[in-house]
Structure 1
């Protein structure tokens, strides 16, 4: 399960970074208050479920307009409802 969640975080980071033309470290500083957050995940380091939820929520709140949310990454239900309104 952790491998799948790590993949979700990296997909969100890559998609967001490309859309905003930002580096991975900048995205990490914004969403996780840690510029090494995503490189550590790529290196196989762990993260908590709480941190996963916080980072995904940050992406939901700051997702670029006009950019599709990645299909393989579940969006938390609270944000799916808000996005549909």
Structure 2
């Protein structure tokens, strides 16, 4: 599974668990409602954007929802990196 597929699977799982649509997740995470749809149809995103989005999704993951299998979950950074 490539990085684009990973973010779509995670975002769609998040959306389903929260009872919202992909466009709403896209707005919350990427500040652009159409971005996740763009990625799902072959669009690209920068590595930093991917990393920030995955961290946001992990930090805001719905309680009781299972993180998608096969997608590494980012660890929380509780202290500043030295």
Q: TM-score range by the shorter chain?
A: 0.7 to 0.9
Structure 2 unaligned segments of length 5 or more: list them: none
Gaps of 5+ in 1: none
How do residues 1-85 of structure 1 correspond to structure 2 at under 5 angstroms? 4-76=2-74, 78-79=75-76
RMSD of aligned Cα (Å): 1.6
Question: Normalising by structure 2, what TM-score?
Answer: 0.87
TM-score normalized by the length of structure 1: 0.84
Aligned residue-pair number: 78
What is the CA-CA distance between 1:74 and the residue it aligns to? 0.4
